[in-house]
Chains A and B, each alone.
Chain A
Amino acid sequence: MREFNETIIEVEQDGTPSGQPLGISHAPSRCGELFARYKERNMPAFIGYLPFGFPDTELSLEAFRTMVDNGVDIVEIGLPYSDPVMDGPVIQAASQIALRNGERIADVFRAVETVANAGGIPLIMSYWNLIFHYGVERFAADFANAGGAGLITPDLIPDEAGEWIEASDRHGLDRIFLVSPDSTDERLRIVAKNARGFVYAASRMGVTGERDTINASPERLVARARAAGAQNVCVGIGVSTPQQGATVGQYADGVIVGSALVHTLLDDQGDVKDPVQGMGALANTTASLAEAIHHCRL
């Protein structure tokens, strides 16, 4: 017996609802919900980055827990990549250490679970080829199952994101695209329209890494992104001290810190520190950043 479109299929597949492709998930954005709560309290969120598998898989799980325990609201779990064009020397070095120590993409879901269990919101930051190679739909399914909330995609612009938009819609995952100070209003509109969760505003032109000063451009960029329709805008790249975090937190919905946290696990030579010392330093740095960011508007 046969009938039109998917109605046929229903007959033959009745009882196996899992056989149907997922429709659009209308689950609310987890980041979006957090920002809504924090806005009521007039407080910016603290988003912390570390590469997964750095210094090795087990220690990185401990590091993610440490971050959440010390005040990180949203954890940006970086997937180490051989060719990270948006990263400066510190994160490049950390990624290489992770790769040398046998980091594997299939294990990253353990980090996702760790963050979720600790009470943080897990995001993954990944260069696109890693996700593409794993399989976009497969990655979205595994990531959502592990409790993941969304992806930050430093080298995927909305124009190329068709497959990811579809998969993230089906699995209710956030899509975090970047904008930079020289993005035109038109580009800001395109990003805002396709983003889910928040928009990642780069504080300056360039790659990740610590800086002594932050100029005024991120404040303008945040305002422009909002005018272009972005609901939540977080600022990252070059934010490394509590004071900088507090300044940025005045106007951004969230403050993203990466290299400064990575740095706590490395010694002056760029080698991995003793783990106990490293975790202590990570806890201290995280706590003082959290304190400064969360209380900056009081």
Chain B
Amino acid sequence: MLDELVAGALEDQQARARETSLDELKAMAAQAPAPRDAKRWLRHDDGIPVIAEIKRASPSKGHLTDIQHPGELAAEYAAGGASAISVLTEGRRFLGSLADLDEVRAAVDIPVLRKDFITTDYQIWEARAHGADLVLLIVAALGDDELVHLLALTHELGMTALVETHTREEIDRAIAAGAQVIGINARNLKNLRVDVGTYRELAHNLPDDVIKVAESGVFGAVEVQDYGRAGADAVLVGEGVATADDHELAVQRLVKAGATVKASEQTPLSTHEGPYFGEYGGRYVPEALVSALDELERVYAQAKADPEFHKELARLNRQYVGRPSPLTEAPRFAERIKERTGLDARVFLKREDLNHTGAHKINNAIGQALLVKRMGKTRVIAETGAGQHGVATATVCAMMGLKCRIYMGQIDARRQALNVARMRMLGAEVVEVTLGDRILKDAINEALRDWVTNVKDTHYLLGTVAGPHPFPAMVRDFQKIIGEEAKEQLQEWYGIDHPDAICACVGGGSNAIGIMNAFLDDDRVNLYGFEAGGEGPESGRHAIRFAPGTGELGMFQGAKSYLLENSEGQTLDTYSISAGLDYASVGPEHAWLKDIGRVTYSWATDGEAMSAFKDLCETEGIIPAIESSHAIAGAYKAALDLKAKGYEHPVMIINVSGRGDKDMNTAGKWFGYLTDEQSKALEANGAQGNNA
């Protein structure tokens, strides 16, 4: 087939040569508009350039579409943001012509590719004479010498060659011949689908200065994203744009998809902005919330650039929250780690438990409340599971004079009756959610419904680094002070340059992101996140999203991330002894950090967490929240990992995200410190702790 096409193209070329001599072509080429340096168009840091093709037919699909005016079509492609136009000039099977090329050349200012079965100097000169900036060379149709020769002629004429390959061997030949732009055809020949795995294999280890163009099977946004994530610099698309009803819109969508991929992988990690973290995040929300999210994003961007905002936030953190929270060395607890693991570590605790309201949640609540003021909204709603975020929100609303309503699942409200009372004391209205499973996720659903209804005057003060953009990045920004302080305190109080490891618990993930952010771009620091293991991953009673066989990719409450769902895509019930980690999904940034291997995620079971809870109480006189106890239990696991990595005297920081007073009933029952009578009395009060 290729031989036939090449022979046909050659025959047609010879016929043209009888009309127009090579010398005449050379004279035409001298008059042609100067060639554009296509390489500058085909690689960008902030996007995946699209080469859009004028394509009427192909041998495999037959007739695709009539194109009366290729110039107009090219102009539509260009208006949609195409970086180059590919013009098929082969006439027999693809129904193209040099007249098409002329029309396209006259219509657009971006590079134009002549796509044909090129095997002769004449065809290269012809391309230039008709104003092409790029030509296609097919490795499979050329011997090594021919390839070298035609490539050199192309470069001599100031053009760029898109050198098409199908196999690794062809790629090596192309590179040896001096190809600068390589087209990779990665279609799976068995099912004809684009196979990104094949592409990855083929494109593996190409020199950095070679531009990689994904050439086959690109149809819509899906393939652009897949190829983009696999490392393609540019894509070539034919049918998907040529046969679209709206050509400009079709190209636009591809360009946007490419820009999204590039933005989603931007580094440094510590300042990565949404809406996407790798493939995670986004805004999977009703259209009715888009205006509010846009407004929030805009107002937050303004605030971020406003020194007065930072001054006010810093003042409140210092004078109201009591920041900085200390970094406390824990030598007696370190001794336990040594006994248990044999690792001689120095252990430090970041004391978010000493903040006003007893947890890290207030860092975010204050930041967002200031934004509420800036937006001129008067009403705040929030969800809460264990009650920590609800209390923090009710607290800042009382302090700033904002109307506040907290949604809490009925089951959570019952097991956290004292926190409900606290919120009410602070002037908040607490709504017990009786719908769904009556836990945290149902409280979030109800808060979202409230927000959809009252979005004009209401701000949804989301408590973690989950939900739709801009929440994950914004909440991270309000929590990153934890890590920034810890870094400085380690240096100034203890004279240690950097920690070797950070341990944090991960529910939605805000305290973990908060302490990790300052260290994300420092490879010397090992980062460990611990999920709620409940009764273990096999029990089906846990909130582990990252372990194999647990979470899957899904959309939940506004973001794409790992999600615990059943075979039908319905959200699974989760379980943990700690209500604050008991959530079916996880912040999108964590999902990304897991995928790129920057953070090691594991879990601590109820039993491990409770045992660590006791260890810290006994060794350091510090009662951690049960949520934070998962990080403390995790420290033992991290120590084993550090030991395996060869560390002898590592420095570890554990984030104590909250204090454990709220958990005393649970702990009392767990360790048998309460008599049956006391336990019953507590239950009668509805204050039996959160493992009820």
User: Could you tell me which A residues sit within 8 Å of B by CB distance?
Assistant: 1-13, 19-21, 23-24, 26, 81-86, 88-89, 92, 96, 99, 104-105, 128-130, 132-134, 154-157, 159-160, 162-163, 165-166, 169-170, 177-180, 182-184, 187, 191, 193, 202, 205-207
Contact = CB atoms under 8 A, between A and B. Distances in A.
Contacts of A159: 283
B1 A128 contact: no
A88 B445 CA distance: 11
B133 interface: no
Contact of B282 (A1, A12, A105, A160): A160
Contact of B291 (A7, A82, A187, A202): A187
B93 interface: yes
Nearest to A179: B287
A162 B220 contact: yes
A165 B220 contact: yes
Q: Which of B60, B454, B555 has the most CB of A within 10 A?
A: B60
Contact of B1 (A7, A155, A169): A7
Contacts of B138: 3-4
A183 B286 CA distance: 11
Contacts of A11: 1
Contact of A182 (B117, B192, B288, B571): B288
Q: Which of A8, A128, A187 has the most CB of B within 10 A?
A: A8
B293 to A, nearest CB: 10
A110 to B, nearest CB: 16
B183 to A, nearest CB: 9
B193 A21 contact: yes
B225 interface: yes
B425 to A, nearest CB: 30
Contacts of A84: 445
B193 A162 contact: no
Given A19-B191, A21-B192, A132-B554, A2 B140 contact: yes
A24 B287 contact: no
B436 A3 contact: no
B2 A8 contact: yes
Contacts of A12: 189
A156 B284 contact: yes
Contacts of B285: 155, 157
B6, B193, B220 interface centre (most CB from chain A within 10 Å): B220
Nearest to B291: A182
Contacts of A170: 219
A166 B249 contact: no
A163 B222 contact: yes
Given A1-B2, A157-B285, A183-B291, A24 B244 contact: yes
B2 A7 contact: yes
A3 B1 contact: yes
A182 B455 contact: yes
B460 to A, nearest CB: 12
B61 A23 contact: yes
Given A20-B60, A83-B556, A205-B454, A4 B222 contact: no
Interface string B200-236: 0000000000000001110111100100000000000
B588 to A, nearest CB: 13
B441 interface: yes
B137 to A, nearest CB: 10
B192 A13 contact: yes
Interface string B146-188: 0000000000000000001010000000000000000001010
B58 A206 contact: no
B46 to A, nearest CB: 18
Contacts of A7: 1-2, 5, 58-60, 93
Given A21-B193, A156-B284, A166-B222, A207 B453 contact: yes
B239 interface: yes
B220 A205 contact: no
B57 to A, nearest CB: 11
B95 interface: no
A237 to B, nearest CB: 10
Interface string B549-563: 000101111000001
B5 A169 contact: no
8 contacts: A3-B3, A7-B1, A19-B191, A21-B193, A23-B64, A86-B452, A134-B569, A182-B456
Interface residues of B, number: 73
B357 interface: no
Contact of A83 (B185, B225, B445, B455): B445
Contacts of B283: 157, 159-160
Interface of B: 1-3, 5-6, 58-61, 64, 93, 117, 136, 138, 140-141, 164, 166, 185, 187, 189, 191-193, 215-217, 219-222, 225, 239-240, 243-246, 249, 253, 257, 282-288, 290-291, 435-436, 441-442, 445, 448-449, 452-456, 552, 554-557, 563, 565, 568-571
A133 B567 CA distance: 8
Contact of A10 (B59, B225, B243, B253): B59
B288 A202 contact: yes
Given A24-B245, A105-B568, A162-B222, 17 more contacts: A3-B141, A4-B141, A5-B216, A6-B59, A6-B60, A6-B216, A7-B93, A20-B61, A23-B61, A82-B571, A83-B571, A86-B452, A162-B225, A162-B257, A193-B246, A205-B453, A207-B453
Nearest to A154: B286
Given A5-B215, A6-B61, A157-B285, A83 B452 contact: no
B220 A9 contact: no
Contacts of B64: 23
A24 B139 CA distance: 30
A129 B452 contact: no
Nearest to B185: A5
Contacts of B185: 4-5
Contacts of B187: 6, 9
B448 A85 contact: yes
Most A C-beta atoms less than 10 A away, residue of B290, B569, B570:
B569
Nearest to A16: B192
Contact of B569 (A8, A85, A129, A163): A129
B565 A191 contact: no
A207 B249 CA distance: 31
B117 A82 contact: no
A259 B120 CA distance: 70
Contacts of B287: 157, 177-180, 183, 187, 191
A21 B217 contact: yes
Given A5-B185, A82-B436, A83-B556, A104 B192 contact: no
B559 to A, nearest CB: 10
A183 B290 contact: yes
A4 B1 CA distance: 9
Q: Which of B1, B2, B456 has the largest count of A CB atoms less than 10 A from its CB?
A: B1
A162 to B, nearest CB: 3
A66 B219 CA distance: 41
Contacts of B216: 5-6
A59 B193 CA distance: 40
A202 B289 CA distance: 12
A6 B563 CA distance: 38
B452 A206 contact: yes
A180 B288 CA distance: 5
Nearest to B64: A23
